Amino acid sequence: MAAARRWTSAVLSGVTDDELDDILLVVDELVSNAFDHGLSPRLMRLHRSEEPCLVRVEVCHASTQVPVLGRSRLGGHQGRGMLIVNRLAKDWGVTLVPHGKTVCAEVECEP
C-alpha cells in the first residue's frame, strides 16, 4: 500500500492537500480490500478529469465477490473500508468482468 500511496501522491500534482488526503484514504481502502479479499493479478489505475474535476481510482483483481458496506468476511475490526470510501467518494461502484472485477471510486477536486 505504501507504494500505491507514493505513486498516487507523485502523479496527482495540483490537487489540494485536503483532496490528496481523501484520495489517499480511498486508495488505501480499495488496495487493502484487493489484498484482503481479492486474488492476483491486482492492478490500480488513476484517471483525472478537469470538468468536472474528479479523480477516479480503479482497483482490479481476480475475485468476483462484490464489496458490501459495513461487512467483512474477515470479521472483527474489518468491514469499515467501504464505509470510508462511501463517505469520501462522490460515487463508487463495481464492474464485474469474466475473470474478476474492478472497484472504482470518484473523488471530487478543485479545477
Beta bridge partner(s), residue 108: 54
Distance CA 49, CA 30 (A): 20
Task: Return the pLDDT at 37.
Answer: 84
- For the chain, the 3-state helix, strand and coil shares in percent, each to the nearest 5, are 35, 30, 35
**72-75-77 Cα angle (round to 5):** 95
Task: Return the pLDDT at 67.
Answer: 86
Task: Return the pLDDT at 85.
Answer: 95
**CB hemisphere CA count around 101 (13 angstroms):** 16
pTM (2 decimals)? 0.90
**27-31-32 Cα angle (round to 5):** 115
Task: Return the pLDDT at 7.
Answer: 94
- What interhelical angle do 17-37 and 2-11 show, nearest 10? 140
Q: Cβ distance 110 to 15 under 8 Å?
A: yes
Task: Return the pLDDT at 77.
Answer: 59
Mark the ranges of the chain whose per-residue pLDDT is less than 50: none
User: Nearest Cα to 2, choosing from 19, 34, 17, 24?
Assistant: 24
